[in-house]
Amino acid sequence: MRYLLFVITILLSLVTGCFSSKMPLPKLEKETEEALIQYIEENYRTPEEYIISKFEDHSIVFVGEFHRIKHDVELIHRLIPLLYQSGIYNLGIEFANYKDQKDIDQLITAETYDQMLANKIQFNNWPFWGFQEYTDIFYHAWKLNSQLPNEARKFRVVGLNAKTDWSHVKTEADRQNPEIMKKVMPEGDGDLFMAQTIIIEFLEKGEKALIFCGINHAYTKYKEFYIDEKTKEIVGAGGKRMGNIIYDKIKDQCCTIFLHSPWPSKDGYSAGFVYPADGYIDALFKSIKPNLRYVGFDTVGSPFGDLPGETSIWTHGHEDFSLKDYCDGYIYQKPLSQYEGVSLIKGFINEENRIAAISQNTNPPKNYSLSVSDLIDSLRKDVNMRKRFRMFH
């Protein structure tokens, strides 16, 4: 019996070891490593300094994130007063609806901060985005404005997104029905709507703005392609993203900065994630001096731009794909294994709004018997980055 238990223990440890093993990192050639380190040493800027510097020759700077990563949103918090000090008075975000702009303006210029109004704005955008750090974007804008003289210009946060209503989608077939999808998206395509909001609120007013959004919306020059995950064949080019539309209008007056995070596998989204740039950036920052590991840098015109991405889905449709094709700039803050998710707002989903929240689930069929606890547990899984990124160094 003891022997059997010993064997079972060994087998369990082997299985656990398999699941906890890390994806290997590539070995940098000495010449490449030296060139990358030299570039960082000679051009070092903190992420905050780097992003601010891009406004010297850009009107619109897109910062694209993976989503739900705590330190990425906190970087935006820190940037708000720095943007203002540099004469940039606007932050556009994907995570609020333009329809709620009057409420946003009221929230961040009021005498006292109203967390309940912030929650309402966030819930209107999507009930499953009740994360404290995202609503705290409003708080940090309010904090800055509350400290300014009465006559001073106020900082603005602009909700870029179109209002959607997913309650109309009850079956998978509904997603393919144009008439139903018109009801879901009464204001039209989200990327086109967000681009038009940028044009109206910033470009037509001669204003500069930082745009914080998911990376797929932030593409300017990069074009994405869709593949059949069974055949791996390209089945079409992606429609124009928000950044693509703005790039077509103002060209190199806009740019894309990517916040270090995993990329989807070359085999498709369902195949999981891989290191960005085939792991070369992660490998470099394991050995680089600690004081250089919190940094922003150019990809275009730098040795980082030539790093490959053959293991990623982004290579499809692009010959000799490299990092400079994907983004203009890059932010590295810490290793993927140290990433933490954002915090859930206590009571954001409750018994009073539970049904309304479930109705906005984008994936049918919708289970209206799910409890508040069920919904919260699902959100906790989404933000558990330690588990989601456990395969990375």
Rounded CA separation 321/309 (Å): 6
Q: How many domains does the chain have?
A: 1
Would you say residue 272 lies in a domain?
yes
Which residues of the chain, if any, have pLDDT below 50? 1-19
Would you say residue 20 lies in a domain?
no
Q: Which of 249, 255, 309 is nearest to 63 (CA)?
A: 255
Residue 286 has what pLDDT? Answer: 95
Would you say residue 358 lies in a domain?
yes
114-132 per-position pLDDT tens digit: 999 999 999 999 999 999 9
Phi, psi torsion values for 312, nearest 5 degrees: -105, 155
Would you say residue 3 lies in a domain?
no
Residue 337 has what pLDDT? Answer: 98
Would you say residue 182 lies in a domain?
yes
Residue % of the chain over a pLDDT of 90: 91
* DSSP line for 68-134: SBHHHHHHHHHHHHHHHHTT--EEEEEEEEGGGHHHHHHHHHSSS--HHHHHHHHHHH-TT--BHHH
Rounded CA separation 244/190 (Å): 13
246-303 per-position pLDDT tens digit: 999 999 999 999 999 999 999 999 999 999 999 999 999 999 999 999 999 999 999 9
Q: Which domain range does residue 151 map to?
A: 25-388
Would you say residue 19 lies in a domain?
no
